[in-house]
Structure 1
């Protein structure tokens, strides 16, 4: 499924509401936002934890339905449940007449295994809220609901209808949610991604793509003492292959080839018959992804072993061309709030890579400021919540 690359937002009108009024309303409700974040963080939602994700999804659905939004559930066995929240638009300037909507992407799953909360409980200390999933990305899920609530409080709302897709498997590759992302992208005019801000509060206008490969080698087992010469050592053959694979990195081009996990053999006194390595590749352009793919598939193993390569590209890069127009508009709106809005390219991928691949204008990193994603030091910088939520509200009001 593809989306026409020319599908970009229409000329963007001036917002109807006062940026100062939005910011003031949200600042007055910061304690309420923090409490909502606490409730979400204290539901542990590691990827694949159906019970935890279903509990968090129910909490989120209960937040959106009283706002007059339709919430559709998409169960994914072994994963949890994906939610699509349909938020009405104002319908001004014929914005609803073309049937297009703004797609907003978020995820409920985290990388933190169940039990992490006991070691690193949610807490507010000074101007920061700490806890697993605060920064990536439960703080942003709270922001989205408050952005819509704030617009309504000042007598406004999103210009276009909005579809908020909350998925349950982003942290592990979006394998079950990708069909939903493709489906909703087909009817959207642009995509906004609620991943957390980059350092300095930057939005993410470019992301590397990701490919994952497995190198597998089959040799022949033998007794290491009595029949060593009859064996064909798969580990040794694999060692040569992983060195060749690692040499394909080109940091100056932003390309990295990481041999992350290796396995092989059964016992020290047995010549190993099988060995394998899992490789993570990051790249900034399609050309680099294709270069690495060709090179890996051209590798050959020696010593009579059988060599196979499996895997490939999981997400193509989010290149700045997909973000430029949305970024310039967001930066102008940020200025109306007295907020500088830098941009950044980052090495990690997100669901924004998927919408950009489909040709959809995409802006990422609209979540809160903070640090420590995927670590025990994860936290949100609380003063960023009201102002970045106001910015999100203004973006929804004007797209």
Structure 2
């Protein structure tokens, strides 16, 4: 398998890739718009069916259908051989941009950059998966193992309805490749922080601040003590951060506050850190006359840079080097569906999508020059892993 041959083939398909990206970007698909996402799923299903792939819809009322796309790999070496475990690819079609964003920020190509809502995060990744499969087919090559591609519709809000599907397919797979956009400098992501979220509610005792101050128990004061304890749980050397992002309490200045609440975001590179912080949060207590309710917990496990992940990265870097394409690696604080596959123990390589910048902004863009080499890399990985 010659990665350079794949690269040359895909360089000739750059305009076709941009045309497909335009179609996807110009079909706005914000999370929660079931109609828009269902229509976009229909477009994608037709494209994949034309390549001979099997397409299964997993409809979710109010959310839209998650797509499960399958195509075969090379036949087993012998008639009695067991088919290998499949490769798992992850994409999502939902974006953070509401319908109408396109009118203010239309798809366009300027100075080597393709702009438009959802272009970078992550409709370019969907286009790359399609053209990687097509290029292998056109060059008479086959993936080393069967391929399962999931294109989900709720990643931007935490994958609440797609997580079970992702984890189920991860348990059947040999490895996962995530087509989220690249990190700065075109780096793939070999580690991602996990996420935990907590809502803390303190109940105190209301009282008139002038006449009966001593009879009250201030929920605000109790929460302030808890905030200091939460902040102290951060461990920057290990990459663990505890951010108290929202604080609310009290009704009027002349009333001892009866209720107070805080929303807390926790990020961690290591699962043992998540466990440490979770136990500490659930062990928090208030003073006499007040009570505390803790809701939430660990939402996404970390994608840790295990030996298996490092081996996948080195394999990818070697393939990229054959194309004279540098491929650095990065550890990032944001999470993706790759956190879920990694949480099942599946070796996961993330950030294999397009290079660019501006995710979730009105100026997000894809570096057009990254499309061919990164799609060639994806195809080469499928052919060799």
Deviation at 1:302, TM superposition (A): 2.5
Deviation at 1:189, TM superposition (A): 1.0
Q: Which residue of 2 aligns with 1:391?
A: 377
- Paired with 2:78 and 2:254, the residues of 1 have a C-alpha distance of 75
What runs of 5+ residues in structure 2 fail to find an aligned partner? none
Q: Which residue of 2 aligns with 1:104?
A: 89
2:311 pairs with 325, 332, 346, which one?
A: 325
Say which SS state the counterpart of residue 114 (structure 1) adopts: coil
Q: Does residue 1:121 correspond to 2:75, yes or no?
A: no
Q: Which residue of 1 aligns with 2:54?
A: 70
Q: Does residue 1:294 correspond to 2:273, yes or no?
A: no
Say which SS state the counterpart of residue 371 (structure 2) adopts: helix
Q: Which residue of 1 aligns with 2:258?
A: 273
Aligned pairs (5 A) from 1:318-397: 318-321=303-306, 322-397=308-383
Q: Does residue 1:52 correspond to 2:41, yes or no?
A: no
Q: Alpha carbons of 1:224 and 1:94: their partners in 2 closer, same or farther (altered >3 Å)?
A: farther
Paired residues of 1:203 and 1:342 also in contact (CA < 8 A): yes
- Paired with 2:4 and 2:272, the residues of 1 have a C-alpha distance of 45
Deviation at 1:134, TM superposition (A): 1.0
Say which SS state the counterpart of residue 59 (structure 2) adopts: strand
Paired residues of 1:92 and 1:159 also in contact (CA < 8 A): no
Aligned pairs (5 A) from 1:17-32: 18-32=2-16
Q: Does residue 1:37 correspond to 2:21, yes or no?
A: yes
Say which SS state the counterpart of residue 275 (structure 1) adopts: strand
Q: Does residue 1:138 correspond to 2:109, yes or no?
A: no
Q: Which residue of 2 aligns with 1:175?
A: 160
Paired residues of 1:237 and 1:303 also in contact (CA < 8 A): no
Q: Which residue of 1 aligns with 2:171?
A: 186
Q: Which residue of 2 aligns with 1:264?
A: 249
Q: Alpha carbons of 1:39 and 1:224: their partners in 2 closer, same or farther (altered >3 Å)?
A: farther
Paired residues of 1:355 and 1:362 also in contact (CA < 8 A): yes
Q: Alpha carbons of 1:50 and 1:223: their partners in 2 closer, same or farther (altered >3 Å)?
A: farther
- Paired with 2:98 and 2:260, the residues of 1 have a C-alpha distance of 28
Say which SS state the counterpart of residue 148 (structure 2) adopts: strand
Q: Alpha carbons of 1:297 and 1:25: their partners in 2 closer, same or farther (altered >3 Å)?
A: same
Paired residues of 2:11 and 2:372 also in contact (CA < 8 A): yes
- Paired with 1:300 and 1:28, the residues of 2 have a C-alpha distance of 64
Which whole-Å deviations, capped at 9, do the CAs of 1:309-357 have from their partners, x for residues lacking one?
1211111211111411211111111112111111111111111111111
Q: Alpha carbons of 1:81 and 1:267: their partners in 2 closer, same or farther (altered >3 Å)?
A: farther
- Paired with 1:93 and 1:332, the residues of 2 have a C-alpha distance of 26
Deviation at 1:144, TM superposition (A): 0.4
Deviation at 1:114, TM superposition (A): 3.2
What runs of 5+ residues in structure 1 fail to find an aligned partner? 1-14
- Paired with 1:54 and 1:142, the residues of 2 have a C-alpha distance of 18
Say which SS state the counterpart of residue 368 (structure 1) adopts: coil
Paired residues of 2:247 and 2:261 also in contact (CA < 8 A): yes
Say which SS state the counterpart of residue 383 (structure 1) adopts: helix
- Could you tell which deviates more after superposition, 254-263 or 383-392? 254-263
Deviation at 1:213, TM superposition (A): 0.9
Deviation at 1:245, TM superposition (A): 0.8
- Paired with 1:373 and 1:250, the residues of 2 have a C-alpha distance of 27
Say which SS state the counterpart of residue 349 (structure 1) adopts: coil
Say which SS state the counterpart of residue 390 (structure 1) adopts: helix
Deviation at 1:215, TM superposition (A): 1.0
- Could you tell which deviates more after superposition, 231-240 or 273-282? 231-240
Say which SS state the counterpart of residue 174 (structure 2) adopts: strand
Paired residues of 1:129 and 1:379 also in contact (CA < 8 A): yes
Give RMSD over aligned pairs. 1.9
Which whole-Å deviations, capped at 9, do the CAs of 1:3-24 have from their partners, x for residues lacking one?
xxxxxxxxxxxx2xx3233222
Q: Alpha carbons of 1:30 and 1:171: their partners in 2 closer, same or farther (altered >3 Å)?
A: same
Which whole-Å deviations, capped at 9, do the CAs of 1:31-51 have from their partners, x for residues lacking one?
111121121112222222212
